Structure 1
Amino acid sequence: MDGTIPIAPTGVEEAPTRVDDLWFPDHNLVIQAENRLFRVSGGILAARSLVFRDMLSIPQPETQPLIDGCPIVVLHDSAIDVEYFLKAVFDSSFFERPPAPTTFPIVAGVLNLSTKYDVSYLRHRALLHLASASPMSLEEYDSIGSTATFPHRTSRLSRLLLADSLGMTWAMPTGMYAISCLKAQSILDGIPVQGGTIHITSALQRACVIAHPELCIAQNHHIYRFLRVLPTKGCTSDGVCSVRSRSLLETFTKLERLDPLGFLDAGWSKALQDRFCPACNARSETEYKSARQAVWNQLPSIFSLPTWEELKSARTADLSE
């Protein structure tokens, strides 16, 4: 940030409107973000934020415009981010620590502005929420549905962009994985999302395009091994498992779906168990679990990120601030 916050009208054409939930008649500071107005306590903001403390300590000219007798602070941030940030400051129940549920836009807004305006306790809280959807192990990845404090699937791309913008590499692997499983055209031309298309940075594009064939190899070499090892010693199907495993392998290799970590969901796993004898089922399950772990272990190197141990250390350092 540039170190200064202008205190002046913005000149926006649309008349600013008050945000009722954050308009306190007995408070002494009006904040404007885009065309939204918030009336809050300058003293509380100064106590929470070193940036606001320094900014509000600067004497203002007597000719400064006022709203209801209050000075105006103009923030060049999105109105919705400012609303989330101020609610987190002035309403203790709005943004609680995990495991309290929240939404990703709230996490992103609070994290961005608590970082920018140096509100350490809110930044730490937002990082805890981000970490809840940023697994560091395959076990955490498999349980993310119950540990994430916000919808994790629909926020993967936004989460990746946020982590990248803040230099938090520890929160990037699974987002990069999800993007790298897409076709190169989508990665380069824009990723379709509800309501439009999102473009990632050129550096992320390059990393994900390079990773795509590596994930294809991982799926073919590691994951499909759970079929290649059949029939296993002790097979009791009299050749049925051999025929079925090769037939399935031929079918799977023709699929366009790329998702080595999620190739078999619970439904597929149950369907496969019905096709093989107990011995082949047991061997196949063991190989599949081993293959998923091997792919997971390779993710950081596939994306040219630090090792898992280094990423864990970085997360620990951020969460201990």
Structure 2
Amino acid sequence: MSSAQSGLESTRNMSVTRSNIWYEDGSIILQARGTQFRVYWGVLAQQSSFFRDMQSLPQPPDQPSVDGCPVIELHDDVADVEYLLKALFVSTFIAQAALPLPAIGALVRLGRKYDFRNLLDSAVARLAFENPTTIEKLDALVINGKPFPHVPTRIVRHKALFLDIITLARENDIPFVLPCAYYRVLWHYTPLFDGVPRGDGTRAFLAPVDLRRCILARDELLKARFHKGYSYGWLKEWEYDSDCAHPARCIEARNALLHCYIDFSRLWILEKYGQDQNLLCPACYDHAAESTLAGRKKLWEDLPKFFDLPPWSELKNDY
């Protein structure tokens, strides 16, 4: 039996449901697991080399059809196909400021599979916007002077969003999203072993490879923040004492801050220094702020290695 005959038999034997995406004057019917979508072949061909090449091929005489429209069977998730077609045929859908992550995942998967390059690019751009590769872009996301906690604006937020972003990025080979996404998970969630509730009755879990990276990186980052040259290395090795107006008070304040950060287990490593200026004299405060700024830049540059990933320069944007 030919593949076309096989497709015809499966179409005949399957209970078929008509989707809400159904244009009466459409010229092609896409069928995914018993759900049919009637759309325009010309639009598909314009946006996708896969459908453009298919359109140029002669249709076999036993090609399944409905009302004269060829039926093309897709072996994809129904929800993914619906999101893809909404992005193509419903102008207000793709124009939304924030899209749900399942829609972005659908555009990544099917955009790559069927070469809808524009849709793939737009989906990856949303992931990259929320999980930047430079500290300048990270700082551009700051709300009320703080980069963390992060409130996404181009992806609809749910309670376990950053875990799901990691899974999507890793499964679809978009590695440059991972360092920032891993760090967001460490900042937002603890513990991770039992997963994180999404808020809809389901829980998100990290795959073992991701869980291992996060757990090992958290311990290393907690120690590294006090290493020389990193965000709070100046608390352990103070290399500035000229112009200090109150040496005894500043030493006491630095010791208090060091113990405060050690006792507080949250990853305060990428925040700008913003402690009460009354804790240190003006000269020491300026030195602390400058050292923290330089340290956070260095830590950001080194962030991928903490998660056992190549450096930023090798995490190519070549999805």
TM-score (norm 2): 0.78
SS at match of 1:216: helix
Give the aligned partner of residue 48 of structure 2. 49
Of residues 184, 194, 198 in structure 1, which corresponds to 2:199?
Answer: 194
SS at match of 1:273: coil
Of residues 167, 179, 182 in structure 2, which corresponds to 1:176?
Answer: 182
Across the aligned residues of Structure 1 and Structure 2, the Cα RMSD in angstroms comes to 3.5
In 1: Cα distance, 2:156 partner to 2:63 partner: 49
Matched, 1:292 2:296: yes
TM-aligned CA deviation for residue 282 of structure 1:
0.5
Superposition pairs of residues 144-163 of structure 1, within 5 angstroms: 144=141, 150-151=154-155, 155-163=161-169
Structure 2: segments with no counterpart, 5+ residues: 144-151
Give the aligned partner of residue 148 of structure 2. none
Of residues 202, 216, 220 in structure 2, which corresponds to 1:214?
Answer: 220
Matched, 1:225 2:237: no
In 1: Cα distance, 2:157 partner to 2:46 partner: 37
Query: What letter matches 2:50 in structure 1?
Result: V
Structure 1: segments with no counterpart, 5+ residues: none
Give the aligned partner of residue 149 of structure 2. none
Decide which moves more: 23-32 or 152-161: 152-161
Give the aligned partner of residue 273 of structure 1. 277
TM-aligned CA deviation for residue 115 of structure 1:
0.6
**Shift in alpha-carbon separation, 1:137–1:153, aligned structure 2, 3 A:** farther
Give the aligned partner of residue 237 of structure 1. 246
Decide which moves more: 49-58 or 274-283: 49-58
SS at match of 1:18: strand
TM-score (norm 1): 0.77
Q: Is the 8 A contact 2:80 2:107 kept in 1?
A: yes
Query: What letter matches 1:296 in structure 2?
Result: W
**Shift in alpha-carbon separation, 1:118–1:212, aligned structure 2, 3 A:** same
TM-aligned CA deviation for residue 244 of structure 1:
2.4
TM-aligned CA deviation for residue 163 of structure 1:
1.8
Give the aligned partner of residue 137 of structure 1. 134
Number of aligned residue pairs? 300
Give the aligned partner of residue 111 of structure 2. 114
| Deviations, residues 163-214 of structure 1 (Å, cap 9, x unaligned) | 211212122111122234578851x442443333212222222222222211
SS at match of 1:26: coil
In 2: Cα distance, 1:114 partner to 1:103 partner: 16
**Shift in alpha-carbon separation, 1:70–1:219, aligned structure 2, 3 A:** same
In 1: Cα distance, 2:63 partner to 2:302 partner: 62
% same residue: 28
In 2: Cα distance, 1:77 partner to 1:145 partner: 38
SS at match of 2:24: coil
TM-aligned CA deviation for residue 114 of structure 1:
1.0
In 1: Cα distance, 2:155 partner to 2:91 partner: 22
Q: Is the 8 A contact 1:182 1:258 kept in 2?
A: no
Q: Is the 8 A contact 2:28 2:38 kept in 1?
A: yes
SS at match of 1:223: coil
Query: What letter matches 1:109 in structure 2?
Result: A
Q: Is the 8 A contact 1:181 1:212 kept in 2?
A: no
In 2: Cα distance, 1:183 partner to 1:286 partner: 29
Give the aligned partner of residue 122 of structure 2. 125
In 2: Cα distance, 1:185 partner to 1:134 partner: 21
Q: Is the 8 A contact 2:28 2:40 kept in 1?
A: yes
Q: Is the 8 A contact 2:63 2:71 kept in 1?
A: no
Q: Is the 8 A contact 1:81 1:109 kept in 2?
A: yes
Q: Is the 8 A contact 2:217 2:306 kept in 1?
A: yes
Of residues 265, 287, 291 in structure 2, which corresponds to 1:256?
Answer: 265
